[in-house]
Amino acid sequence: MASVKNLKKDINFVLGDVIEECYSWELMNPDSDTKKSSAIVDEAINTFDTLIAKLHAKDVENKKAHFKAVKAELETLAGGLLDKVNKL
């Protein structure tokens, strides 16, 4: 298992890329309504907060399995967010 530090970086970079994609879409479509893209940005920020809170949980019995679960959840949630961005 990679270090917790690297997992934090992965969470930050992946969700940061999702937010960046939303902003890029807004720049390329200036006449479109930005409510949907703003909602995706808010959801990405909430996902970040949730995953970091799970990462910092102290009452975990098996840390290795817990960190793998957090990484899998990151992949699932980020994939869902990117699907929403692609549907804009």
| Predicted pLDDT of residue 34 | 86
pTM: 0.86
What average pLDDT does the chain have? 90
Q: Please tell me the distance from the alpha carbon of residue 49 to that of residue 56, in angstroms, as a whole number.
A: 11
Q: Please tell me the distance from the alpha carbon of residue 16 to that of residue 81, in angstroms, as a whole number.
A: 11
| Predicted pLDDT of residue 2 | 59
**pLDDT tens digit string along 4-34?**
888 999 999 999 999 999 999 999 988 888 8
